[in-house]
């Protein structure tokens, strides 16, 4: 799965902390960014969405919105950093998101029957980032997306499969909507992150939904991934990400 978290230059909203992709470009990393963009563009499915990644055993699920959001965000930020991006790839990706959505503002799992409109707060959080990164905040669907995100926020850590991914994208979504939204997120989840930290510095993951061992998910939320993800969340208020 591709991911990009950079400076979004948000219009009339709190800027997303950090300038990861921009700093890479300034340091002569445009060639690397172009290679990343080329890989993302090459792996886009005909539907406009993206898969989990290159591991074949994961792609039996088909393309869906979680990796699609992250790939679109990466493309948008690479484009802002001055890297050439095929606009048709972005257009197809956004269409995939919209085809997955419900009338209430939910970004569903995919456009497939039974998955369309099946929303969760974490997916909406990353879709909010994508729309802002692409300058689509005037789209009539955007306020519906934000409203759904806010209403479902208490369920954030129960998002499908990865509580850590939902926690991260939910944190980022709240961070760009302003101080009131961030403070609400922190009241719900921030203190709990701190409380989960052990004496050795490790941070246990949130409980999340019950993971399926047969799908190889039993240990994927533990260890370094849990520490790194939640450390990034803790850095957001400091403008470090």
> Where does the pLDDT of residue 214 fall: very low under 50, low under 70, confident under 90, or very high at 90 and above?
very low
> Where does the pLDDT of residue 222 fall: very low under 50, low under 70, confident under 90, or very high at 90 and above?
confident
Residue with tokens 């909010």: 128
Range scoring the smallest mean pLDDT among 8-22, 26-40, 140-154, 216-230: 8-22
pLDDT at residue 20 tops 90: no
Cβ(131)–Cβ(142) below 8 Å = yes
Looking at the DSSP assignment, which residues form a beta bridge with residue 197?
203
- pLDDT of res. 56: 53
Polymer length in residues for the chain = 241
Q: In 3D, which of 185, 151, 141 has the Cα closest to residue 14?
A: 185
* Whole-number percent of the chain with pLDDT over 90: 64
> Where does the pLDDT of residue 29 fall: very low under 50, low under 70, confident under 90, or very high at 90 and above?
confident
Phi, psi of 47 (to 5 degrees): -70, -20
Other residues' Cβ atoms within 10 Å of the Cβ of residue 219: 10
Quote the tokens at residue 179.
Answer: 């101080």
Could you report the per-residue pLDDT of 153-202, keeping only the tens digit for each?
999 998 887 899 999 999 999 999 999 999 999 999 999 999 999 999 99
Q: In 3D, which of 156, 49, 46, 55 has the Cα closest to residue 109?
A: 49
Q: What does the alpha-carbon distance between residue 44 and residue 168 come to, in Å, rounded to a whole number?
A: 23
- pLDDT of res. 5: 43
Quote the tokens at residue 21.
Answer: 């992709």
> Where does the pLDDT of residue 52 fall: very low under 50, low under 70, confident under 90, or very high at 90 and above?
confident
pLDDT at residue 220 tops 80: no
Choice between 30 and 22, residue whose per-residue pLDDT is larger = 30
pLDDT at residue 17 tops 60: no
Q: How many helices (H) and strands (E) does the chain have?
A: 10, 0
Could you report the per-residue pLDDT of 37-51, keeping only the tens digit for each?
999 999 999 999 999
Choice between 10 and 34, residue whose per-residue pLDDT is larger = 34
Cβ(97)–Cβ(65) below 8 Å = yes
- pLDDT of res. 65: 94
What integer is the mean pLDDT of 122-128?
Answer: 96
pTM reported for the whole predicted model: 0.84
DSSP string over 167-185: HHHHHHHHHHH-HHHHHHH
Residue with tokens 């921030």: 190
Q: What does the alpha-carbon distance between residue 22 and residue 76 come to, in Å, rounded to a whole number?
A: 11
CA dihedral sign of residues 154, 157, 171, 73: negative
> Where does the pLDDT of residue 12 fall: very low under 50, low under 70, confident under 90, or very high at 90 and above?
very low
pLDDT at residue 208 tops 90: no
Q: What does the alpha-carbon distance between residue 96 and residue 172 come to, in Å, rounded to a whole number?
A: 22
Residues 6+ apart with CB under 8 A from 2: 36, 39, 40, 50, 67, 70, 71, 74
- pLDDT of res. 183: 95
- pLDDT of res. 1: 43
Q: What does the alpha-carbon distance between residue 161 and residue 143 come to, in Å, rounded to a whole number?
A: 26
Other residues' Cβ atoms within 10 Å of the Cβ of residue 13: 15
């Amino acid at each position: 799965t591709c991911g990009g978290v950079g400076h979004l230059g948000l219009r009339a909203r709190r800027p997303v902390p950090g300038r990861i992709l921009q700093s890479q470009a300034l340091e002569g990393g445009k060639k690397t960014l172009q290679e990343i963009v080329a890989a993302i563009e090459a792996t886009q499915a005909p539907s406009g969405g993206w898969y989990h990644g290159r591991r074949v055993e994961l792609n039996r699920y088909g393309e869906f919105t979680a990796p699609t959001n992250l790939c679109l965000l990466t493309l948008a930020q690479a484009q802002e950093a001055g890297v050439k991006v095929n606009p048709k790839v972005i257009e197809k990706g956004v269409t995939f998101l919209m085809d997955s959505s419900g009338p209430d503002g939910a970004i569903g799992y995919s456009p497939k029957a039974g998955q369309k409109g099946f929303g969760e707060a974490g997916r909406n959080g990353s879709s909010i980032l994508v729309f802002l990164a692409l300058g689509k905040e005037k789209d009539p669907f955007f306020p519906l997306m934000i409203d759904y995100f806010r209403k479902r926020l208490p369920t954030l850590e129960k998002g499908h499969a990865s509580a850590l991914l939902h926690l991260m994208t939910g944190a980022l979504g709240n961070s760009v909507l302003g101080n009131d939204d961030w403070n609400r997120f922190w009241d719900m989840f921030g203190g709990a992150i701190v409380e989960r930290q052990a004496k050795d510095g490790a941070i246990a993951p949130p409980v999340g939904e019950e993971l399926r061992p047969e799908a190889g998910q039993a240990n994927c939320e533990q260890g370094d991934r849990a520490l790194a993800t939640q450390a990034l969340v803790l850095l957001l208020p400091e403008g470090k990400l």
